Structure 1
């Protein structure tokens, strides 16, 4: 069992008490994590798209997929069928393993890190934030990447409010900045 999942199961009753939930089945939990990279800068370079896909696959521990444009958009110079991004959805053990590595290893390696922003909640308990570069993950070799790129990470929870989602992620070790939240 993943280390973070054991931690969650241990603090489930504490979380239930903090949020004032009567039914233990209503205790919020992390449902899935989505890692995505918008690769509009690499649309015409298949080697770069493949390199980004390999990088995200290494980071996630699960095969990433290339997102293909469904429509042509002349203003963005996008044609139908062109690769526009890379994404992977993590659930179960892979999700807990990734979140554990993100919180305990990768985020502390960010230069001048003071915590992730608290204003990334969507109103329904899901949290969204971005990273500037993929080099903060120790499994990525500097020599293997062709271009530094950022990524967007979405943590989907079963929480019904931002307060419940924030409490869940704080208890699981997510390093938020000091200050107030927007909800």
Structure 2
């Protein structure tokens, strides 16, 4: 079992019960899924960028990446409908907890000038989104073999009803939010 999942069940649930004043375990907020997305606008000209990004995303998450296609044509970006412009992975269950554990313990401390995550990245319903500037912060990616440095968006979808509940859950899980 994932280390973070064990911590959630044994330590975090009792603290959430106390903080939120709810006895029912199913009424407490929990992490439902994590979506990791790489937008590759420059992949229109170079197919290698898309191939490398999907390979890195699969290495980082442990799951095959899905290639996303454009829905609309935008002539200013030389984009036609159906062109491959990115890749994404949706993580649930065991892989989700393992990825979050690696993100907290290994990747975030390797980010240059890291002073904590922005506590305002919530969407109003308890879901948190953050971005990383390069995929090299993950130890699974060999920096010598990277030709294109690519950023990624990470969205953590929770069952929390409000931003405060979501913030409490993610802070208890170990996400290092910046102090105001």
TM-score by length of 2: 0.96
Aligned to 2:166: 165
Deviation at 1:154, TM superposition (A): 0.1
Q: What are the residue-to-residue correspondences of 1:18-167 with 2, within 5 Å?
A: 18-167=19-168
Q: What are the superposed Cα offsets for residues 81-116 of structure 1, whole Å, 9 maximum, x if unpaired?
A: 211111000000010000000001110111111111
Deviation at 1:79, TM superposition (A): 1.2
Cα distance in 1 for partners of 2:79, 2:51 equals: 18
Would you say 1:7 and 2:7 are equivalent positions? yes
Runs of 4+ in 1 over 3 A off after TM superposition: none
Question: Does the 8 Å CA contact 2:4/2:101 hold for their aligned counterparts?
Answer: yes
Unpaired runs of 5+ in structure 1?
Answer: none
Cα distance in 2 for partners of 1:108, 1:23 equals: 35
Q: What are the superposed Cα offsets for residues 25-76 of structure 1, whole Å, 9 maximum, x if unpaired?
A: 1111000000001100222211111000000111111111110123322122
Cα distance in 2 for partners of 1:152, 1:84 equals: 14
Task: Name the count of aligned residue pairs.
Answer: 179
Unpaired runs of 5+ in structure 2?
Answer: none
Cα distance in 1 for partners of 2:27, 2:148 equals: 43
Alignment root-mean-square deviation, CA: 1.0
Q: What are the superposed Cα offsets for residues 123-147 of structure 1, whole Å, 9 maximum, x if unpaired?
A: 0000001011111100100122221
**SS of equivalent to 2:120:** helix
Cα distance in 2 for partners of 1:21, 1:156 equals: 21
Cα distance in 2 for partners of 1:154, 1:99 equals: 11
